[in-house]
Each structure stands twice: as C-alpha cells, then as structure tokens.
Amino acid sequence: MWRDLARVLRLWRPQAGWLLLGLAMAAASALLGLALLALAGQGVAAAIGSAGLAGVAALLWLRPLVLLRPAARWAERMLTHDAAFRALADTRVWFFRRLAERMPAGIGLARAGDLLGRLVADVEALDGLYLRALVPATAALVSVLAVTLLLGAVPALAALVAAPLLAALLLPLLLAPGAARAAADVARAQGRLRAAAVDPLTGIEDTLAANAEARAGVALEREGAALAAAQRRLAWRAAWAGAAGTVLAQAALLGALAWGLAAGSAGAAMAALALFLAVAAAEALGLLPRAGAALAAAAAGAGRLFQAADAPVPVPDPAVPAAAPAGHAIRLEGVRFRWAPDRPPVFDGLDLDIPEGTHLALLGPSGAGKSSLAALLLKLAAPEAGRITLGGVPLEALAAEEVRGRIACLTQDARLFGDSIAANLRIAAPLAPDAALWRALDRAGIGGLVRALPEGLATFCGEGGARFSGGQARRLALARVLLSAAPVVVLDEPTAGLDAATERAFLETLGQVLAGRTVILITHRLVGVERPSRIMRLVAGRAIPATG
C-alpha cells in the first residue's frame, strides 16, 4: 500500500510546485482560522481578567482576519484542486502511454470496461491521496503544532489539549491498512461492474439478436449488488473513523475545561483561550479521520493502475536504436513465431524476400498466419527465432516509431474513431493541411461523398464509423493510409465484409493509388483485379510460390 502511494507521488513530481503551493495555502488557511479563534479567546480571556486594552486589541485584529479567512479558504480550494487536476491529467497520460506500449496489438484478454475503469475511476481515486489526505493532514499538523506552542507556557494544559489532537492526527495512518482490503474490493467490483455494462453495449447487436439483454441485466444487477456491498464495508470503516475523530476532538475540549475547573478563577482566562484553540484545531482535524479510507481507496486504485501498467512490453525498443535504414526492402529469414508458449507455431522457418517496389499477394486460409505476419512487420509481435530486416537493418534494432513510419497498414477492421473526418485522417499526419486531406480523399475515391456532406471534413464519423457504410468507411481508412509517407503498405484482408461489387471497386482503387510503393496484400483469395507482381501462399508456416 505505502509503496504504491509513494510511487504515485513520484509520478506527480513534475507538478511538485503546484502541489506544494496548495499545501502551503492549506496551512495558511488553517493558521488564519486558528488565529481568528485565538484572538476571540484572547478577548474573552482579557474580559475575564479585566484587561480591557488587551481585549480591545484582540477585537481590532479580528476585523481583518474575518475577511482574510474566507479569502484564504477560497484560495486553498482553488489551488489544491487545480494542483490535483494537473497531477491526475499527467497520470492519465502516463497510464495511456504505458498501456499503448504493452498492448500494441489490442487489449487482448483484458476487458474494455475494466480498462476504462482503471483509466477513469482508479485515476480519479488518486485525488484522495492529495485532497483528502495530504491537504487536511498538513492543515491539521500545523494546527496541532500552533496549539501546542500557544499553550506551551502551561505544559499540563498543553498536554491535555494537544494529546487528543495528536491522536486524531495519527488516526488515518492507523486505520488506512485495515481499510485497504475493503477499498481493494471496491475497486475490483467497480471494474467488474463497468465490464458488465460496457461489454454487452459494445456488442449490442449480438446481445439483442441472442435475446441476451435480460441475462446481461441480471449480470449487471449482480455486479452492482457486489459493488454496493463492498462500498458499505468501506463506508462502515470510514464512519467508525469519523466517530473516533469526533471523540478525540471532544476529548481536547474536555481537557481544556477540566484544567480550567481545576485551576479555578486564576486559570479561567487561559482555559477560555484553550477552549477556543481546541475548537479551531477540531475544525482543521474534522476531515482527517476519514482520510484513512481515502488513503486506502487511493492505494487500491494505484495498485490496479500499476498492475496493468507494469505488464511486460511485448516488443521493447532497443536501448540505443540503430540508424534509419537507407532502403525499405523487407526480408524474413528462418522466422519461427507463436503467440503463446502453449500454442502451436504460426511460422516455422518462414523465408520471404520483398524487394522495394514489389506488389506481393500473400494468400492463405484463415489461421494460416496472414495477420500474424502483419503484426511481425509492424513490431506488434516479435519472432522467437530467425530475423526480419528492413532495408538491411534487423527490425529488433529499430525503434517501433521508425518501423511504423516506413510501414503503414490497412486492416480488415480499420477503425474510424468517434471524431470528425479530418481528425480521423490526421491520425496519420497531424499537421496535414485541408488540401492534403482532400487529395487523399479524392485518391481513395471518397472525396465526392465528403464534399456532399453539409459539414464536409468536420462531419462526425460516429462510434466505430457508424455514420458510413462498410465500403465508405474502408475508403476513409485508405485515405488515412495515403496521407502517410510510408513507402511500404500492408493490406491485411482490406476488403473483408464488403460485397462483390464494392470489393472489386475498392481493389481497383488500391492498384491505382499505391503504384510506386511496396505493397503486401494479405488475403485468402484474389478476385482478378489486383495484378500483383508476385503471388505466394502460406502453407504449414512457410511461404511457397503460388501455382495457380
């Protein structure tokens, strides 16, 4: 738990200035509140002791503090929340990048809803570390120290008031480990609930077609009940912590009152001051007892984040990448590859030579390894034996960014994201001007359709490209590939799911617009319009020339 929280703080180091400024403002606000009640207590003490001038001076100091305290509280809230938002934004970016490195071929066996929960809810839980633990702890600490110093002239009184306050200060540290298991249960239950909601909605057509919406609802209800039970257990611990904090704050007040009664009239003024100080410190300590639950929730969220973020990188980049290759000829020599140690090899001694400018058609049935080859060429996976070279340089010696800058890919499920057409195209070329986008759309045979749309390039594509038909979405994806300057284009079953007429038209477009580039067409059959310069078949993990 503590190790994960310490790692979170290290991640937030770039925002250390803002975070420390927020803590300083919290301390200043707490001290102003303490000063406000201390002066009020001094006025009462002065009245009890008939020290009129001291009472007048205290009341005069109260007037500016009455105005300063609300301003300080406002500044504290603004600064601490701004600092937390900055730190959480950095954490989300860090987590996304770590996931991208570890899931280059997709989420695999992970569940989309659970990953969404980690990226959103578990990151948001980390704000408890700062806003509900560090910030109130800082305010409480300076308050307890100030009370101890102000009452230090009377050690017995200082001890009676400060000891319960110090115990309340330490309460979160004592309660956090016990709440950690309940918080971890809540985090896991939240992940399961999101998965139970997102998965059926992602495949809503299949869910409805199978009359499975009722079963999905039952599963959602079950996971919701499990989450509620876990949240009740955590809330129970937080409630006991709050009650314990209230008892300790009351103990400080009773200590000051008991000392005053024991001291009699001679100590009445000091007792009155101590009572006011105890009330001020209790305000600063009011949110602290529940900080233990906040720490536990933050630790649970951090643990889930790091569990996903620390998965091994499938194809790590070299520590010192090789210089960019002079050419882009591709060669595979004795490549052996399998997706998992307990699965049969996809390739076993695969040899393939693809000179620059080749238009290669690679044929094979489902499961022959066509998509696996695309993954190997893009460094989404790595062979267990043999080697792959690009321009004569081993692929493992090149950075993935360099490889994917030279090899573009159009897959059978090329995705259009829920954004504008322009934003979807600029994934391949972020700085491309509108004129370049229109050229790519025209070359892909979809420019006329986009021009006819009322919003043109700003047209929203919908989730997964739902705004367009399969053929239209595929042409938009092709336009995105054409924006890339990559000299090698891998086409992995690019016409899957298209009707015969749309398929032929799309393949004819491909032949025209990819002239001059190296093209690797991976498909289970040819329709007669592709005109490749070479045809190979994948058979038993090897590539052999096609005979017809």
pLDDT digits (tens, 9 = 90+) for 406-420: 888 887 777 888 889
Q: How far is CA 410 from the centre of its chain?
A: 27
Burial 529-541 (b: 16+ CB within 10 A, else e): ebebeebbbbeeb
Gap between the Cα atoms of 499 and 4, Å rounded = 53
CB atoms under 10 Å from CB of 402, counted, come to: 20
Gap between the Cα atoms of 444 and 422, Å rounded = 14
Tokens of 318: 């070299």
Pick from 10-14, 38-42, 471-475, 536-540: least confident: 38-42
pLDDT of residue 83: 92
Q: How far is CA 214 from the centre of its chain?
A: 32
17-178+236-309 and 330-545 share one fold: no
pLDDT digits (tens, 9 = 90+) for 517-532: 888 888 878 776 677 8
Any idea what DSSP says for residue 460?
B
DSSP letter for each residue of 393-434: EEGGGS-HHHHHHHEEEEETTPPPPSSBHHHHHTTT-TT--H
* Residue 293 clears pLDDT 90, i.e. is over it: no
pLDDT of residue 452: 92
Number of C-alpha atoms within 13 angstroms, CB side, residue 232?
Answer: 6
In sequence order, the 6+-apart residues with CB closer than 8 A to the CB of 143 are 30, 31, 33, 34, 165, 280, 281, 284, 285
pLDDT digits (tens, 9 = 90+) for 204-219: 777 777 778 888 888 8
Helix, strand or coil, per DSSP, at residue 462 = coil
* Residue 155 clears pLDDT 70, i.e. is over it: yes
Please say whether the beta carbons of 338 and 348 come within 8 A.
no
* Residue 394 clears pLDDT 50, i.e. is over it: yes
Tokens of 282: 């209790």
- Under the banding of pLDDT at 50, 70 and 90, the label for residue 127 is confident
pLDDT of residue 146: 86
DSSP letter for each residue of 487-539: SEEEEESTTTT--HHHHHHHHHHHHHHTTTSEEEEEES---S----SEEEEEE
The mean per-residue pLDDT over the stretch 116-129 comes to 73
Gap between the Cα atoms of 372 and 364, Å rounded = 12
Tell me the CATH class for 330-545. Answer: alpha beta
pLDDT of residue 62: 55
The amino acid occupying position 506 is F
pLDDT of residue 435: 92
- CA torsion, ordered 39, 40, 45, 50, to nearest 10 deg: 100
* Residue 489 clears pLDDT 50, i.e. is over it: yes
Tell me the CATH class for 17-178+236-309. Answer: mainly alpha
Tokens of 521: 């067409």
Q: Measured in Å, how far apart are the chain's first and last C-alpha atoms?
A: 63
Please say whether the beta carbons of 384 and 377 come within 8 A.
no
What average pLDDT does the structure give for the chain? 80
pLDDT of residue 451: 92
* Residue 246 clears pLDDT 60, i.e. is over it: yes
How large a percentage of the chain has pLDDT more than 70? 89
The owner of tokens 């693809």 is 354
Angle made by CA atoms 156, 162, 166, in degrees to the nearest 5: 140
Domain boundaries, the chain: 17-178+236-309, 330-545
* Residue 35 clears pLDDT 70, i.e. is over it: yes
Helix, strand or coil, per DSSP, at residue 256 = helix
pLDDT digits (tens, 9 = 90+) for 434-484: 999 998 888 888 888 999 999 899 998 887 777 888 888 888 888 888 888
Residue 121 burial class via C-beta count within 10 angstroms: exposed 0-12, middle 13-18, buried 19 and up: middle
pLDDT digits (tens, 9 = 90+) for 338-376: 877 888 888 888 888 988 888 888 888 777 777 788 888
Angle made by CA atoms 73, 77, 81, in degrees to the nearest 5: 165
pLDDT digits (tens, 9 = 90+) for 363-372: 887 777 777 8
* Residue 94 clears pLDDT 80, i.e. is over it: yes
Strand partners, 409: 490
Gap between the Cα atoms of 93 and 111, Å rounded = 20
Tokens of 519: 């093209």
